[in-house]
């Protein structure tokens, strides 16, 4: 179970815009471009290794996934960011922001979700997003 942030205006913010908005909202924030690049490469590897299995009967979706792999591999430094943020480091949450993708929050159970709820809701508000359960 988790939540996804869906932009109210219909477009996703750039990773740098997300970082700036969270910087204005939270006392503690750390932005890591190297971790963002590693996550993008890992996501591209994962998706590429599963293209034929995930999209066996969907050639158009497979082609869009191939294009996504190419985009993830071609990102400029800083286009994907890992951002840790919160009011304190003890309550901080971590997200990785990729271009044109919604931000997702996963939880380790009901207690973790309850503990994160206020921070996640403030994040959604700062980014002008709706919080949608997935």
pLDDT tens for 3-17 read: 999 999 889 999 999
Cα→Cα distances 67→48, 109, 124, Å: 10, 34, 28
Mean pLDDT confidence for 70-86: 97
Structure tokens at 60: 């158009």
Structure tokens at 62: 């497979």
Name the pTM for this structure: 0.91
Choose the weakest-confidence range: 8-12, 96-100, 129-133. Answer: 8-12
Strand partners, 86: 28
Rounded CA separation 69/129 (Å)? 26
Structure tokens at 26: 């939270």
**Residue that has been written with the tokens 């109210």 in this structure:** 8
């Amino acid at each position: 179970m988790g939540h996804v942030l869906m932009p109210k205006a219909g477009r996703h913010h750039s990773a740098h815009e997300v970082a700036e908005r969270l910087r204005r909202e939270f006392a503690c924030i750390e932005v890591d471009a190297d971790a963002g690049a590693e996550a993008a490469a890992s996501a591209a590897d994962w998706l590429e290794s599963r293209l034929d299995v995930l999209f066996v009967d969907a050639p158009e979706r497979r082609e869009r996934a191939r294009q996504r792999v190419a985009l993830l591999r071609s990102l400029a430094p800083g286009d994907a960011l890992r951002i840790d943020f919160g009011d304190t480091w003890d309550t901080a949450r971590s997200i990785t922001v990729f271009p044109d993708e919604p931000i997702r929050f996963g939880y380790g159970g009901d207690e973790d979700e309850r503990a994160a709820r206020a921070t996640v809701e403030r994040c959604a508000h700062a980014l002008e997003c709706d919080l949608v359960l997935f």
